[in-house]
A and B are shown apart, each in its own frame.
Chain A
Amino acid sequence: MIKVLKPGFYSTIQDFGRFDFQDFGVPYSGVMDKKAAALANALLGNNEDEAVLEMTMTGAILQFNNQTQIVISGADMSAKLNDDHIKLDKIVNVKPNDVLSFGKLNMGFRSYLAVLGGFKAETVMRSKSMYQNITKQFMLLKNDELAILESLPISETQYASIRFDNSYMNCNAIEVFKGPEFDSLTKKQQDDLFLKSFTISKDNNRMAYQLEEVLENNLKPIITSAVLPGTVQLTPSGKLIILMRDCQTTGGYPRVLQLKESALNILAQKFTGKTISFKLNSKY
């Protein structure tokens, strides 16, 4: 068991998400940066989609009740076990009463804590991902107790030391495909999408990232239709909204672009004030 001494700014348990319930209006949810979460799990020998703790901007303070192994991946939040700094993407052995804490955010925005065997949280609709009105709890709170494997399997595997390329976190190019309404845009609007750079506004969270710069817009709303994580919507006021993992299942704004799935991982590590530019992938 892990005791939450402080939850951090916004921490949730996430696996890869809740599939097959879109037709009931249920969002996918799931880790914002799949690449980081999958790596943390893989290093421990977990399935890549095992439930992890996703921490946003500031990390939690956690006390372990039993022995286990952990890996932290994603954003660099100056993790410490007791008084010792620990490295990202490395297996760390944890003893009972050890305290994991975080400090300054050095790189990225979302950090992942994976534990051996994964977090044993409530499963609703075949997923452990927290979401309001689906799971009983939708974010970590002080004094929560998080269940983990109490007894360690005997591990004989020696994991190679992996050098993981974290450079995607600093990448500003967001690869996209044309969205369903892209062709309704004027040539000028299309050009602007790829020539301008865009700033992430303060309205950014697990549901959506809104961008600051305004695009000239005279498109009519569409009849409500499907949207996906990574869909870029153009609002009547000309603002662009990039939908993220917790997004609603349908929407009425024109869908001008669709992010490449790997670009969602890049965006998940960005925050207010960072700039991005869209790069068209013309595979489709």
Chain B
Amino acid sequence: MAFKLTYKPFGERAILIEWPSKIDDAILIDIINFKQKIKKSNIKLLVELKSAYNSLLIIYDDFVNNFKAEKDIIEKIYSSVESLEKIETFLWRIPVCYDEQFGLDLNDISIEKKLSKEDIIKRHSQAIYTVYFIGFLPGFLYLGGLDKSLHIPRKETPRLHLEKGTVAIGGGQTGVYPNASPGGWNVIGNSPINFFDVSKEQPCFAKAGDRIQFYSIDLKEYQNIKILVDAKVYQIESEVIND
């Protein structure tokens, strides 16, 4: 499916391509395919591609002196018909401990949403989330697919310190903080998994287009997995999705 795209210069060496302003799986797939075509095309001076929900930024290693000419090149690549290699996408199963030791805001959410804690956990871990992109902080996955009954405004005062692995919901989104950071989302649990590993050339296990599902573990399982993760021998459960 071809979308109507807009192209804008973004400073001296970047071009921003925008899809219609919404969060949508069809747009995600189109962005992933476009990225693949650009990578194959050997545009000269290309440095990197950075995608988000409905945008793709092309960053060049030199100044773009003729925006119009560069835009024409990119538009041609977008409309070119190519057989693209199928990128394997994965479903990653991520353990989360929703124990009250971690789930600092479960009580408040339970009261506000009139749902039992068990219900919140069930709804959070039943959904299959789509990874739209990685941004904000190293290894932070932007996930789509949070159950509507769990949409809840961000906290009025952000916490200054959230632990590494904090699982939280804010607005219509859910996510895992890959490292300790300040944060304004509502905290419901913690995952012992490393979402960002500096020692790897691919520092994140997941990529745009992959799926994530959370499953509930108790404190003892949390400690056990943590030991394996720290020893760098933990294997995240995953399966290839064929769709």
Contacts and interface: CB of A to CB of B under 8 A. Distances in A.
Interface of A: 19-27, 124-125, 132-134, 177, 179-180, 222-226, 228, 230-231, 248-251, 255, 258-261, 284
B22 interface: yes
Nearest to B202: A24
B11 A261 contact: yes
- Categorize the interface residue count of chain B: 35 or more
Given A180-B10, A225-B52, A26 B133 contact: no
A133 to B, nearest CB: 4
B135 A224 contact: yes
Contacts of A177: 9, 11-12
Could you tell me the dominant secondary structure of chain B's interface residues? loop
B159 interface: no
A25 B137 contact: yes
15 contacts: A22-B48, A23-B48, A23-B49, A23-B134, A24-B196, A24-B204, A25-B138, A133-B198, A134-B198, A180-B10, A223-B54, A226-B10, A226-B57, A258-B10, A261-B12
Interface string B197-222: 01000011000000000000000000
A132 B204 CA distance: 17
B70 to A, nearest CB: 11
Could you tell me the dominant secondary structure of chain A's interface residues? loop
Contacts of A248: 135-137
B53 interface: yes
Interface string B122-161: 0000000000011111111010000000000000000000
Which 10 residue pairs are nearest across A and B when measured between Cβ atoms?
A: A250-B135, A284-B9, A226-B57, A258-B11, A133-B179, A225-B55, A22-B50, A225-B52, A25-B134, A25-B138
A24 B139 contact: yes
A25 B142 CA distance: 11
Interface of B: 8-14, 16, 18, 21-23, 47-55, 57, 59, 67, 133-140, 142, 178-179, 196, 198, 203-204
B9 A226 contact: no
B15 to A, nearest CB: 10
B140 to A, nearest CB: 5
Contact of B21 (A179, A223, A255, A258): A223
Contact of B52 (A250, A259, A284): A250
A49 B134 CA distance: 28
A228 B58 CA distance: 12
A251 B196 CA distance: 20
B132 to A, nearest CB: 9
